[in-house]
Structure 1
Amino acid sequence: MTSQAPEKVGVSSTSEVAKERMARLNEEALVSAGPTRGFFRGTWQSIRDLGEYRELLGLLVRRELKARYKDSALGFLWSLLRPIAILLVYYVAIGKFLGAERSIPSFAIYVFAGLTAWQLFTDVVAGGTGCIVGNAGLIKKVYLPREVFPLSVLGSGLFTFSTQFAILVLGVVVASEIPTGSRLLFVPLSLLVIVVYATALALVLSAVNVYLRDVQYLVEIGLTVLFWSTPVVYSWALVQNIVAGGWLQQLYLANPMAVAIMGMQRGMWVAGTDQPFPDGLGTRLLIMLGIGLVLVWLAQRLFARLEANFAQEL
């Protein structure tokens, strides 16, 4: 009695289906997974890519927020406690000991308005600098628009800013110094200036940091110098007394963060209505915003040029 080998049912049909699929794939045109070249065409394609990955961007923002306070008991409260602690230090050391509050009415509100704006800028620039290196594992595995990583840092920074700004609003309400009228326009305009310049720096620094890791340490030093170059804990009147007119004053006002922080203070600091501010502060903010938008565009194109070798460098 002879045994008969079992028939291999369906093997030939499966092989034919696989061959058909391979044939269709070979007929399709290859699609580049990298950034599109060209200033205008590349910019438009980058915007489209970011639109397609907007859900991923939202997930990265939430991941950024969760990772920042992972395993901490207070969680998001730390985003409030840190600036409040800094405010108390400046209020006691500079306001009380050095007597700054004698020349700056409602010194606490003045300082907190500046600190809130400055903290947003610091979070985006410092966090954005290391975001590509910090996501090296994901970048080496799959292709996606790498701009989502600096933008996710921006998203988490804006969330933190919103919580701190809510405390500032509560403070002005408790102090019965609620801003009204056209002065409120300075707040969103100043916020836009901060966002565009922080985004431009985050894009450039995150890309350069992949090739030169010393950048993150230079950023820490630069942010410290820039902080004391902006009127966060001292007034514009003091700057005027030291650099009265001339090119030094114009050089000081060329700092977009100095102009943006003064705009935030002009909008929220009711007690300082009679205090001096630079002439044409609103016009300066609009000019800074226009320049910043151009810088964001140039920063994105530089980022697109440098991202081609991210995976190899990481």
Structure 2
Amino acid sequence: MTTTSETRAARLEDEPLRLAGPRPGFARGTLLSIRDIYAHRELLGLLVRREIRAKYKDSTLGFFWSLAKPLAMLLVYYIAIGKFLGAEASPRNPGGIPQFAIFIFTGLTAWQLFSDIVIGSTGSIVANAGLIKKVYLPREVFPLSVLGSSLFNFTIQLSILVGATAVVGGFPLGGRWLYFPLALGVLIIFATAVGMFLAAVNVYLRDIQYLVEILLMVLFWASPIVYSWALVHDRVAGTLFEQLYLLNPMTQVIIGFQNVFWVAGDGQLVPEHMGRSLAITLGVSVCLLWLSQRTFARLQSNFAQEL
């Protein structure tokens, strides 16, 4: 009597051989790739759950650590930097940032998602070399599984951020939430585009993963996370540097997040037409994701040999 595993093996043997290279046609090839990924959606779901479980493997408290780390970060910024170092605005320090802990935690919540997607995606193909060399499957599922697990962690951190705004009496309400889908859309699509491209290149140039960490460190300080946009504007207003600074997608995303969650920052200086800028960047990010996927598709045919 045949077992379930033997039946599955027989089915795999009956499957026709398929090329791992790009599908013909720029638009048609993209459509076929999307269909292929959708056909393997159950596998993608399994990979996402594997990524989440692996993070807390052999941990006694498990899911608790997902809450503990962002909570500890929030307390550190509130006490150590906001109070002791005087970063938070107060009667004695009117030049500080109001509700500094919410301000910086908002930026870090967005940045952490971006960093997790880019770093995790960059090493995702190399980390799954054993599976890639054994069976055919759309290789895009590996960076996409990183996206899924990163969104899980982001949801936890975001819930803590929203809870913190309620505790300090600054819960966001009204039309400010319109910025959230735009900023989150830019973040996810732009990060996925960058991560998918780097995942493919990293197979051929393993130094990429180390270069990415350095570039992310530079980009972190080139975004208004630990300092406000008003501070940058005061020093470079009307210059080319200001325009270049605002072209950084993560600058737009973080300012968008701050417009939503940092209620105490109402009245602070905000770049003009921020919503329109986010909408344009969202369109550009979609185009970048398309180009990134086509580049990934062209490079994936030799993944198994390189790995």
Relative to the length of structure 1, the TM-score reads 0.87
In 2, Cα distance between the equivalents of 1:155 and 1:264? 20
Q: How many residues align?
A: 288
Cα deviation 1:91-130 (Å, max 9, x = unaligned): 4554335432122111111111111111100110011110
Deviation, structure 1 residue 310 = 0.2
Say which of 22, 25, 37 aligns to 2:24.
Answer: 37
Structure 1 letter corresponding to 2:269: P
Say which of 132, 136, 144 aligns to 1:139.
Answer: 132
Unaligned runs of 5+ in 2: 1-13, 90-95
In 1, Cα distance between the equivalents of 2:244 and 2:259? 20
* CA spacing shift, 1:220–1:85, aligned 2, 3 Å: farther
Say which of 269, 279, 282 aligns to 1:276.
Answer: 269
1:218-257 counterparts in 2 under 5 A? 218-257=211-250
In 2, Cα distance between the equivalents of 1:216 and 1:81? 28
Say which of 115, 123, 129 aligns to 2:122.
Answer: 129
Partner of 1:62: 49
In 2, Cα distance between the equivalents of 1:30 and 1:78? 44
In 2, Cα distance between the equivalents of 1:137 and 1:240? 50
Q: Which runs of 4+ in 1 moved over 6 A?
A: none
SS of residue matched to 1:101: coil
1:86-235 counterparts in 2 under 5 A? 86-102=73-89, 103-235=96-228
SS of residue matched to 2:133: helix
Deviation, structure 1 residue 216 = 0.6
Please identify the structure whose Cα radius of gyration is greater. Answer: 1
Say which of 260, 268, 271 aligns to 1:267.
Answer: 260
Deviation, structure 1 residue 33 = 5.0
1:307 aligns with 2:300: yes
Partner of 1:18: none
1:279-298 counterparts in 2 under 5 A? 279-298=272-291
Partner of 2:59: 72
Q: Is the 8 A contact 2:170 2:264 kept in 1?
A: yes
Tell me how large the CA RMSD over aligned residues is: 1.7
Q: Is the 8 A contact 2:21 2:299 kept in 1?
A: no
In 2, Cα distance between the equivalents of 1:252 and 1:80? 33
Q: Is the 8 A contact 2:19 2:301 kept in 1?
A: no
* CA spacing shift, 1:139–1:280, aligned 2, 3 Å: same
Relative to the length of structure 2, the TM-score reads 0.89
* CA spacing shift, 1:168–1:133, aligned 2, 3 Å: same
In 1, Cα distance between the equivalents of 2:284 and 2:160? 31
Structure 2 letter corresponding to 1:191: L
Q: Is the 8 A contact 1:124 1:153 kept in 2?
A: yes
* CA spacing shift, 1:143–1:162, aligned 2, 3 Å: same
Identity of aligned residues (%): 63
In 2, Cα distance between the equivalents of 1:77 and 1:101? 29
Unaligned runs of 5+ in 1: 1-24
Structure 1 letter corresponding to 2:288: L
Q: Is the 8 A contact 1:83 1:115 kept in 2?
A: no
